[in-house]
Amino acid sequence: MKSPSRRPTFAPSSLLVALPLCLLGACAGSPTSSPPPSRPQPQTAPVAPPAQPVVTTAPDLAPVPPTATANASTGALLTNHGNGVTAIALPGQREGQSVVQVFVRAGADEARPGVAELAAETLVASSDASSGRRSLRQRVGELGGTLDVDVGPTGIWITARTPARSWQDVATAMLAAMRDPAESRPQIERLRDEYLDARGREIWSAPEAGAARAMMLGDAGTSAYVANLLDRDASEVRQFLAVQCVPARTILSVETDADTAAVQRALDALVTAANWRGSPVQAAAPAQPRPQRSGIYWAPSDGNGLASASLVIPVPDAADPRSADALVLLACLTLDGIGGRLERRLRERGLGHLQFRSQWQHAGLCSSLVLTTRCTPTEAKVLWQAYDEARQSLRATPPNASELELGLRRATLATRLRNASDAARLRERVGAVLRPATDPSVEQRLGELARSGGGDARTAIDAFLDLPTAMVVFGGQPPETLTAVTQFELLPPGALAKLVGAPVQAQAAAAFPWLAPSLEAIGGAELLRRTIGCRATLARRVGGVAATSETLEYRAPDQLSRRREILGSTIATDLTAKGASEALEATRVSLDSVETRRILREQARHPISLLAAYARGEIQFRPIAQRDIGGREVLVLEALGGGFERLRIHVDATSRLVRVVEVWETLESGLRAHVQESWSDYRSAGGLRAPFRCVTEIDDGSSRTETVYSSWEPLSRGP
């Protein structure tokens, strides 16, 4: 059984224990089955990353007898097991074939962007050499099956299609993968790199599908999507697996052509035999939706040839009562790219020759119709205008009886196409089992609309026009007269080398054009090469209250002399190559290696120290992404070596000054904390431009410290 996750805290040095606990924390820093939820409606304001979950005591983890129920409308049998797992057996629809599916009721909205996808990949691709357990993907292949993984805003679905005789072996392998996910940092990082490579190649070969999926997950294009995956750390994946991928959030379903009651008994026995213990209840922070945004998104390229333009039109999931109405109105609007009001508007504008390829793209319960055509950039502009006019015409002139009749027929076909795959079909069937019996299915709602002649058209049209819609263009340049265009790159700058497995030397070389201007902005590469430390006076404030005043002298790599004034007491810290100690009045104690390295790393990651080490060739960086953060364009680079587990810097693309340093620190307890230092107030100091203010946040704001320098001067060695 996995132990509950706890927020890591920094251990104070020995002599601080005697001081009041309030300043000690300040100075040291402290670092039952239900239907899947429908995605909330679009929001315009940016949403902050979700907070870490709060661990509460489980009321009772003792085994609880399972409870079984039957669903008359679907023919399914359902068992709620004592450990929290819900097991569902459904009648098969294809002779000789079984479909086994795990549904985890936690998706992209429950974590930082990219974490849920990497967690899902870890579940299916990790293995355990010590026990001989092969990965779930390997095991399903050995049993003659195929595996599908889908991550949406509200859940993760892992689906295996297998011969009917093998479903029990597949279900056993799925339970084992959920019970014993990889926790090794090297394995998770390897899986992340392999997943990035696969995703990058998919986007390169089919950018339209990649863009549609990225937008359903809330990303503004493929570049932002890949950058988010690159940004994620193994500790975030482990945290998601420990908190979200637990029995109480897991539904295991089997669809096979055998007797349903016998299948349910066998399935219940497998869940019991898996010995997957229920975890303590974790009261996670509310989900933070990242809905698709409306507008035009353009990935430009050189040349004036044809571009690929795709309309991305989302439709509410089957659990949403608006889904059937939206499918009918979508058919009236586009007829899946072969007619409708859009075609009439295009003919009026001289673009009747455009031909569309239609496909349904999924991200869990979210689905979008993607209509793609080849056209010139100017024609893409007209396409967007014609599409907007066609949408608005629904409100001005609601569909007539003929349009509704055709739309109903097309919507019925679209429902089948949307659920054409085994994974999507079983996902929908399980949703029907979990939903209240009074909620009509999409097919039932379409039947009601047909009998009523279209229902309340005005209300349905208003709801449909409130849905976000977007056009994504790859190639060419946006026309100058086209306003409000969000431009993006197919893949993040500098990331392509990593995606195709370029050697470290090539990645480091790719960072030079980004960092060379930073060296000059700070004071020049030659002066930085000679800078080996600093002498400074500073004050730290926690929560706006003064905590310490300090003087220090640091010489890289292992010498530091520091004096801290706290509540009238002076703590002297001295680090040399021969030893490390700390003294309070007449008492002196030795510092262990963990605390010594932590103190030295704090100075080594100062922006001047990092750039000086880079200028001397002691540390290298590789480019990760280029993005807009808080209205400021920044370049994100990751350190290669330098004694840090994982360190990144954010460089202002305009001033070329280092604005943020983020690092993952391993604490004495073995837990890891995310530390982010935001640097500002750059001033001239000894020929360099040095930051005089730093705000340090641990684990997304669980601890916040402000450091203000009253003096700072570089220490240099001779030429």
- pLDDT tens, position by position, 237-252: 999 999 999 999 999 9
Total structural domains in the chain?
A: 1
- pLDDT tens, position by position, 401-422: 888 888 888 888 887 877 778 8
Q: Within a 13 Å sphere around the CA of 376, how many CA atoms are in the beta-carbon half?
A: 7
Residue 78: pLDDT above 80?
Answer: yes
536 strand-pairing partners: 552, 712
- pLDDT tens, position by position, 621-678: 988 777 767 677 888 888 987 778 789 999 998 999 999 999 887 655 555 677 889 9
Q: How many CB atoms lie within 10 A of CB 561?
A: 15
What integer is the mean pLDDT of 579-585? 91
With respect to residue 267, please indicate whether it lies within any of the assigned structural domains: no
- pLDDT tens, position by position, 201-234: 888 888 889 999 999 998 888 888 988 888 888 8
What integer is the mean pLDDT of 682-690? 95
Q: How far is CA 665 from each of CA 85, 558, 596, 674, rounded to the nearest angstrom? A: 35, 18, 13, 6
Q: How far apart are CA 106 and CA 290, in angstroms?
A: 14
H or E element in which residue 328 lies: helix 323-334
Residue 685 is part of a domain; what is its CATH number?
2.50.20.10
- pLDDT tens, position by position, 469-481: 999 999 888 998 8
Angle at 548 between CA 675 and CA 644, to 5 degrees: 25
- pLDDT band, residue 196 (cuts 50/70/90): confident
Q: How far apart are CA 16 and CA 439, in angstroms?
A: 61
Domain that holds residue 573: 503-716
- pLDDT tens, position by position, 495-510: 555 554 455 666 677 7
Question: Which of the given ranges, 17-31, 169-183, 543-557, has the highest pLDDT on average?
Answer: 169-183
Question: What pLDDT shows up at residue 441?
Answer: 64
Q: How far apart are CA 623 and CA 495, in angstroms?
A: 7
- pLDDT tens, position by position, 258-301: 899 999 999 999 999 999 988 665 555 566 788 888 999 999 88
With respect to residue 177, please indicate whether it lies within any of the assigned structural domains: no
With respect to residue 573, please indicate whether it lies within any of the assigned structural domains: yes
Question: What pLDDT shows up at residue 674?
Answer: 78
Kindly state the tokens that stand for 141.
């292949």
- pLDDT band, residue 63 (cuts 50/70/90): very low
Kindly state the tokens that stand for 600.
């030295």
Question: What pLDDT shows up at residue 415?
Answer: 79
| Range in 49-53, 167-171, 233-237 with the lowest mean pLDDT | 49-53
With respect to residue 133, please indicate whether it lies within any of the assigned structural domains: no
SS (H, E, C) 366-416: EEEEEEEEEECHHHHHHHHHHHHHHHHHHHHCCCCHHHHHHHHHHHHHHHH
- pLDDT band, residue 5 (cuts 50/70/90): very low
Question: What pLDDT shows up at residue 35?
Answer: 43
- Interacting residues of 405 by C-beta distance below 8 A, sequence separation 6+: none
Amino acid at 568: G
Between 90 and 403, where is the model more confident?
90
What residue has token string 């479903």? 167
Question: What pLDDT shows up at residue 645?
Answer: 74
* DSSP H helices in 128-259: 136-142, 167-179, 185-205, 207-216, 222-231, 234-243
Question: What pLDDT shows up at residue 392?
Answer: 93
What integer is the mean pLDDT of 323-337? 85
With respect to residue 706, please indicate whether it lies within any of the assigned structural domains: yes
Between 449 and 153, where is the model more confident?
153
With respect to residue 417, please indicate whether it lies within any of the assigned structural domains: no
- Interacting residues of 13 by C-beta distance below 8 A, sequence separation 6+: 28, 573, 582, 591, 595
With respect to residue 153, please indicate whether it lies within any of the assigned structural domains: no
Question: What pLDDT shows up at residue 491?
Answer: 81
Residue 708: pLDDT above 70?
Answer: yes
With respect to residue 10, please indicate whether it lies within any of the assigned structural domains: no
- pLDDT band, residue 344 (cuts 50/70/90): very high
Q: How far apart are CA 51 and CA 627, in angstroms?
A: 23
What count of residues does the chain have? 719
What integer is the mean pLDDT of 121-132? 83
Residue 48: pLDDT above 90?
Answer: no
- pLDDT band, residue 42 (cuts 50/70/90): very low
- pLDDT tens, position by position, 441-462: 666 666 666 666 555 677 788 8
| Range in 5-9, 358-362, 643-647 with the lowest mean pLDDT | 5-9
Between 633 and 55, where is the model more confident?
633
Average pLDDT of the chain, as a whole number: 82
What integer is the mean pLDDT of 49-63? 33
What integer is the mean pLDDT of 515-543? 93
Query: What percent of the chain is predicted at pLDDT more than 70?
Result: 81
Question: What pLDDT shows up at residue 505?
Answer: 65
Question: What pLDDT shows up at residue 434?
Answer: 85
Question: What pLDDT shows up at residue 319?
Answer: 73
- Interacting residues of 578 by C-beta distance below 8 A, sequence separation 6+: none
Question: What pLDDT shows up at residue 172?
Answer: 95
- Of residues 125, 157, 130, the one with CA closest to residue 141: 125
